[in-house]
Amino acid sequence: MIGESTDINSSKHLCVMARVFDNEKVRDAFFDLVHVGDVSADGLYKAIAGAFEKVAVPYKEKNLLGLAADVAAVMMGTNHSVTTLLKRDEPNLFILKCLCHSSHLCASYASAKLPRVVEHLLKKCV
């Protein structure tokens, strides 16, 4: 699972979490927090690859099975994204888009179709 964040100094970071199978157990673990200067698909891809290389884990050899991230175009775009770059290395990569972000996008789109009076009533009543 990966996610981008910006700290109070406007430095951008990529948090990398891993679900690890080790000694007959599955566990979720913090993997790395990578400072990223380039938040393009190529820059984030290099940051992920670098995190694996730093600890000598060859992710291209079936060690990376899935990816969970938000639905931003840089992460999940169909033409050039972190997902397309990782799938180039691992074609069978399982992709999980963030359900919270997907639900929010659906709700935002749906609410835009409602009459404005509904929003006004909700704000008054809630």
pLDDT at 45 > cutoff 90: yes
Percent of the chain with pLDDT over 70: 97
pLDDT value, residue 120:
78
Query: What is the mean pLDDT of the segment spanning 7-36?
Result: 87
125 domain residue, yes or no: no
The total number of structural domains that make up the chain: 1
Question: In this structure, is residue 7 part of a structural domain?
Answer: yes
Q: Could you tell me where the beta strands, DSSP code E, fall in 36-120?
A: 66-69, 94-97
Residue 10 has pLDDT above 80, yes or no: yes
Residue 66 CB neighbour total at 10 angstroms: 13
**pLDDT, tens digit, 9 for 90 and up, residues 53-103:** 999 988 787 788 888 888 889 999 999 999 999 999 999 999 988 767 667
Domain-located, residue 55: yes
| Residue 81 included in any domain | yes
For residue 55, give the amino acid letter. V
pLDDT above 70 (res 126)? no
In a domain, 106, yes or no: no
At residue 84, the pLDDT reads 95
Structural domain includes residue 119: no
% of the chain with per-residue pLDDT over 90: 32
Residue 35 lies in a domain: yes
Q: What domain range is 11 assigned to?
A: 2-98
* Extended beta strands in 1-126, E state: 2-6, 12-22, 25-35, 66-69, 94-97
Q: Is residue 122 part of a domain?
A: no
Q: What is the structure's pLDDT at 51?
A: 92
